[in-house]
Amino acid sequence: MRTRPNDVLGAEAPSTDATEKDPSDWVTGDEPMTGAQRSYLDTLAREAGETLPADLSKAEASEHIERLRAASDRVDG
């Protein structure tokens, strides 16, 4: 296997996680939220005393989940 000249092993990990994309960049971000997102978002919204529309997209649901988790003491995921 050939390596490229700039490839190295054992280097520090990049500062940003390339596996995490901004929800607005998701190819499927405009699809309806998943059942798992809906269930988790329902729990978070109830705990925060908020109501949210039930017709959110995957991207919108993800953004609300991140916002509500950041505002709570939850560490689960």
Angle, to 10 degrees, between the axis of helix 58-71 and the axis of helix 35-48? 40
Nearest residue to 57 (alpha-carbon basis) of 18, 77, 19, 27: 27
What pLDDT was estimated at residue 72? Answer: 85
The per-residue pLDDT for range 13-64, each reduced to its tens digit, is 555 555 566 776 767 778 899 999 999 999 999 999 999 999 999 999 999 9
- Top-confidence residue, 1 or 37: 37
